[in-house]
Structure 1
Amino acid sequence: MNKVSEKYAPALLKEKRYFPNLNGIRCIAALLVVCHHLEQAKHAYGIANLYEYPIIQHAGRLGVGLFFVLSGFLITYLLLDERGRFGNVDAKKFYLRRVFRIWPIYFLIIGLSFFVFPHLDLLAFPGTEEKLSVHATERLILLALVLPNFAFVLYDLPYWCAQTWSIGVEEQFYYLWPWLIKYPKNRLVILLLFLGITGGILFLGLDYLDPDDQTRNAIVGTFIGQFRIQTMALGGLCAYLVYYEKHYILNLLFRKDVQLIVYTVLVVLFLSGIHFFGFLELYAVFFGFFVLNVSCNKNSVINLENRVMIHLGKISYGLYIYHVFVIVLMINFLRAYVPGLDGATYQLTVYILSLAGSVLVSSASYTFLEKPLLSYKDRRFGR
């Protein structure tokens, strides 16, 4: 390896699966989503809010996009590493690992949202009754099949679990990605089959629902806008660069002056509220650059390794799943028991209570439910 390559080379060898700063990335992504939903919930209740500001409206989408890029990066690297070390990808173990990580609290929030939360006054949310009564069976079937993104675009979901749509997108990425890496010569066939099945499920749902043309177009447009497999694929491309040590590209991306320029542009775009739509969002490219640098570049200008961000990153999946019902709970609690609270005092209080409550619930879930299952998963099926 030449001196230039050594200077900017990935900090980790292929045999090592640990990447620094990833919990910090998860922390940032989760907090973006929490802020978005807090303002969205206040807007739904008619409480003073910032939801109309573009920076707030897009914060949730950007947070999810950051999660998607990171997920694509990690999953691709692990699959490439497994194929490189063992000559194959064990799809069965891959799916069992995903099941133990994703399904327990996914099904927990679904069950609570349909069978417990509707009966609690402190969790009342505007417009929920119709989403629990109309097409309830169809919703539950799709959710039971871990197709929450289909349930969301076709029938909508109760607010407490509406965020699970992104879990569906990630799960479908998992259905596709191992096979592309396991059978690289058949990638086109696998991709076309996957897209055919996905499109078939959507249009079967549309035929059953039988909406008018305008509504049908809106549903399809929403589904395509949320079905961001290409964003996760971009994260996969970043993993490819690292795993195969493409130093002629990494050397450029890891330069300190390039980092400073890219991050300055990213901050300016984010604060301006400018958003980009299309097959591949510009922000996803920024996120790929960010993930590559903080996780693989020993000369990264950003370091996210601190206690708070590490902890929030560890509990970020629970934070993402639980924060919506905690926000609703805290808003209703303040409305019921502190009705005179308003202005800046109210805004600060609802933020503190919502964030603290979300962290508390997520930490308890991680300690008593997720961590034991993850330990079993690691022992039984590997990481």
Structure 2
Amino acid sequence: MSTKLFLPGLNGLRAIAALSVILAHVSETLVEKRILNTNYFGHFGGYSVTIFFTLSGFLITFLLLKELELQSKIDIKKFYIRRILRIWPLYFFYILLIVIVMKFTVPSTIWYYVFIVPNIPFALHLAGNSMITIPLLIHYWSLGVEEQFYAFWPWMLKNSKKIKKTIFIFCVAYFGLKVVLSILNAPIVIQSILLHTRFCCLAIGGIGACLYFENNKIVVFVKQKFVEILAWLIIVLFLLNVIRVFSIVNHEIIALLVVALIINQISNSKTVIPLENKLFDYLGKISFGLYIYNPLVLYFISFLLLETNENKPLKATLFIFSTFSAVILVAHLSYFYFEKRFLNLKNRFTTIESYSSNPNN
């Protein structure tokens, strides 16, 4: 028998992150096809992925803490079964789709994706290395980061006597390593891999979970209205590229702000922007599919609608509407007719069930 936890608003944050990623990819495609001259939403993608990372770090850590509280131990085997059933079916199904679309003529770098280290070719590509990325799989880099994080995170928590302190030390050490390598002008390839493997953002989510779990006085401060308003405002300004600090710390700042939003959503009845509603709940549920399928949907719709440059405003409008509609439809079908089969199986290995919408509705 599993224990059920109601954590409102988290599906809303997932929905915002997923839709922002799609918007960034749509904008990028319109620029590539010369329908638009400026990529107005180019920064939405990277920062939205950080929202996903922080959410994952928070939720995974909080559930493991609850498991420790209830059972005095973490069941590592069940943890990995749950993660595999949630991620691997769609992860590998989409790779199969891309191999078919590419008529089985894929570069040898496909093995980075198969063995769940797609962040390596992504980081090397951004560092100027000749490593061949697969365009329809380039967004898989973030899934590689999450899976690698899961590989060691439950072990670290299970073997730690002071979990919050351990996570904090890990976060500081990882961030410090990035800074030191940057100061020492280490090879750009190494810096790129560390920069895009955002374990620190996931760990910040974990620290937030520890603070919330123990009802730390910092949580009381974070739940003040001005803190939540400030967090929303700064995140929006980052997304619009109005403010930037340094690339080495931008995403950690976003992660800290997202923790503030998470805490307010799940524990503040007077949150400034409540995200607990049926639309966001629905989009949050299918957000994994929204993220996975959007490049493939973009590929086909751009082929159908953007091959010529006539009537640019009309084409841009039609393209945006068609893309969002098609991605939502595909993600809906995937969730209810494919993913849910594995999610139902996953529940057999669940000790703590979290709900991002009220299960009694």
Q: TM-score, normalised by structure 1?
A: 0.79
Amino acid of the structure 1 residue aligned with 2:76: A
How big is the shift at 1:104?
Answer: 0.8
CA distance in 1, matches of 2:113, 2:256: 31
Residue 326 (structure 2) aligned to one of 348, 352, 357: 357
The offset of 1:39, in angstroms, is: 1.7
Question: How far apart, CA to CA, are the structure 2 residues paired with 1:295 and 1:50?
Answer: 37
Contact 1:24 1:305 in 2 (8 A): yes
Paired AA for residue 238 in structure 1? G
Alignment of 1:71-150 (within 5 A): 71-113=56-98, 115-119=99-103, 132-133=106-107, 136=108, 139-150=109-120
Matches within 5 A, 1:165-204: 165-185=141-161
1:218 aligns with 2:202: no
1:64 partnered with 2:35: no
Tell me the equivalent position of 1:249: 218
AA aligned opposite 1:95:
Y
Aligned to 1:158: 134
Distance in 1, matches of 2:112 and 2:242, equals 34
**Which region of structure 1 is more displaced relative to structure 2, 291-300 or 313-322?**
291-300
Deviation of 1:105 after TM superposition, in Å, equals 1.0
Q: Which has the higher helix share?
A: 1
Partner of 2:244 in structure 1? 275
What is the CA-CA distance between 1:348 and the residue it aligns to?
Answer: 0.8
Residue 356 of structure 2 is matched in structure 1 by none
Distance in 2 separating the partners of 1:269 and 1:148: 26
Moved more, 270-279 or 79-88: 270-279
Is 1:258 aligned with 2:258?
no
Which residue matches 1:39?
A: 27
SS in 2 for 1:180: helix
Q: Would you say 1:328 and 2:299 are equivalent positions?
A: yes
Task: State the Cα deviation string for residues 324-356 of structure 1 (Å, max 9, x = none).
Answer: 1101111101145xx465222111110001100
User: Bigger shift: 347-356 or 179-188?
Assistant: 179-188
Residue-by-residue CA offset, 1:305-340 (whole Å, 9 max, x unaligned): 22221111100001000001101111101145xx46
Given that 1:33 and 1:320 are in contact with CA atoms closer than 8 Å, whether structure 2 keeps it comes out as: yes
**Whole-angstrom distance in 2 between the partners of 1:227 and 1:321:** 19
Deviations 1:148-184 (A, max 9, x none): 1123334342211111100000011111210111000
Cα displacement string for residues 128-163 of structure 1 (whole angstroms, at most 9, x for unaligned residues): x8xx34xx1xx2332222111123334342211111
Assess if the C-alpha contact under 8 Å between 2:78 and 2:349 holds in 1.
no
Cα offsets for 1:205-252 (capped at 9, x unmatched): xxxxxxxxx9x9333232122110000111111111111111x21111
Tell me the CA shift for residue 259 of structure 1.
2.3
> Do the aligned residues in 1 keep the contact of 2:17 with 2:49 (CA within 8 Å)?
yes
Q: CA deviation at 1:269?
A: 4.5
Aligned to 1:9: none
State the TM-score, normalized to the length of structure 2. Answer: 0.83
Map of 1:297 onto structure 2:
268
Q: Is the 8 A contact 2:34 2:309 kept in 1?
A: no
Choose 277-286 or 140-149, whichever is displaced more: 277-286
Structure 1 residues not aligned, in runs of 5+: 1-14, 121-128, 200-213
Partner Cα distance (1:271, 1:37) in 2: 15
Within the alignment, does 1:371 sit opposite 2:336 as a pair?
A: no
Match of 2:9 in 1: 21
The alpha carbon displacement at 1:16 in A equals 4.7
Relative to structure 1, the CA distance from residue 281 to residue 364 in structure 2 (aligned partners, 3 Å threshold; closer, same or farther) is: same
Secondary structure at the aligned position of 2:36 is classed as: coil
Which runs of 5 or more residues in structure 2 are unaligned?
125-130, 178-184, 354-361
Question: What's 1:315 paired with?
Answer: 286
Q: In 2, are the aligned partners of 1:29 and 1:64 still within 8 Å (CA)?
A: yes
Contact preservation (8 Å) 2:58, 2:207: yes
SS at match of 2:14: helix
Relative to structure 1, is the Cα distance of residues 47 and 253 closer, same or farther in structure 2, using a 3 angstrom cutoff? same
Aligned in 2, Cα 1:278/1:152: closer, same or farther, shift over 3 Å? Answer: closer
2: CA distance, partners of 1:99 / 1:328: 28
RMSD: 2.7
Q: 1:228 to 1:348 in 2, by over 3 A?
A: same
Equivalenced residues, count: 328
Cα separation, 2, equivalents of 1:82 and 1:93: 11
The structure showing larger relative contact order (alpha-carbon pairs under 8 Å, at least 6 residues apart) is 2
Contact 1:39 1:49 (8 Å CA) reproduced = no
